[in-house]
Amino acid sequence: MNISEAESVVMEVLWREHPLGAEDIIDRLKSTQDWQERTVKSLLNRLLRKRAVAAKKDGRRYLYRPKVERTQYVASRSSDLLDRLFGGRVAPLVAHFSEQGKLRKKDIEELKRLLEEIENER
């Protein structure tokens, strides 16, 4: 499932809390997005067509909920990215971030800890 950057902003709201009406979503996005009601409803309709969300009639409004879990979506997109850009390998991805100066000391320490955990499990 290919969700655009704008659609993913709406999905993040729904992953945190659902079901929500369009007005609720607009309210949750007020502090970070300057979107009109029409924009949010358009994004919701696109997500409905992609079957990323479901809608249930509640009186005069619809309540939306995600149909795909965030963990599933992240796993799918990260696998796609890894396959497409790094031949399915993690090491070149980490090397890329290192070369770009994107790895902070805290990141490196966390990676070392994760690698130790993986080693200990094997």
What are the structural domains, with CATH classification, of the chain?
Answer: 5-66 (1.10.10.10), 89-121 (no CATH)
Q: 100-122, pLDDT tens digit by residue?
A: 999 999 999 999 999 999 999 98
- Give the pLDDT confidence score for residue 5 in this predicted structure: 94
Low-confidence residues of the chain: pLDDT under 50: none
Tell me how far apart the alpha carbons of residues 55 and 101 are, in angstroms, rounded to a whole number: 43
Q: What is the pLDDT of residue 46?
A: 98
Q: What is the pLDDT of residue 122?
A: 83
Instruction: Write down the pLDDT at residue 82.
Output: 94
**End-to-end CA, the chain:** 33
Check residue 57 and give its pLDDT.
97
